[in-house]
Amino acid sequence: TGSSDPYCIVKIDDEAIIRTATVWKTLSPFWGEEYEVHLQPSFHSISIYVMDEDALSRDDVIGKVCITRDMLAQHPKGYSSWVSLSEVDPDEEVQGEIHLRVEVLGSQGGRRQLRCSVLEAR
């Protein structure tokens, strides 16, 4: 039909912690959702999986973006850019990108805060 029914799953170190709502029949989804998650100081990566909901079969993985601890070390104040989705299944072609903003905020109670925003997707 030329459109998808996308939603996102956010995983920290391969543990799913967030599932967004599905945005029906679009290739440019907007979720407008915010979540607060407490990261363990020893975390290794945050992965955002973009999925396509399918009522008749298993949901398809459109692609993913991974933010690693090393990436955050390279950008201590954060960054904002379009990031291409990477493949999850080597047999699937991946098309799409998300506009990601990552901010490392000052300490609150001795803990640094990380704000990750998916601004747009296409």
In a domain, 1, yes or no: no
Domain at 64, CATH number: 2.60.40.150
Per-residue pLDDT tens for 29-82? 888 888 888 888 888 999 999 999 998 999 999 999 999 989 988 998 889 999
pLDDT at 21: 95
Q: What is the pLDDT of residue 107?
A: 67
Q: Are 105 and 113 in contact (CB under 8 A)?
A: yes
Q: How far apart are CA 46 and CA 2, in angstroms?
A: 30
**Count of domains observed in the chain:** 1
Chain CA centroid to CA 28, Å: 15
Question: pTM of the prediction?
Answer: 0.86
Copy the structure tokens of residue 3.
């459109």
Q: In which domain, by residue range, is 93 found?
A: 6-121
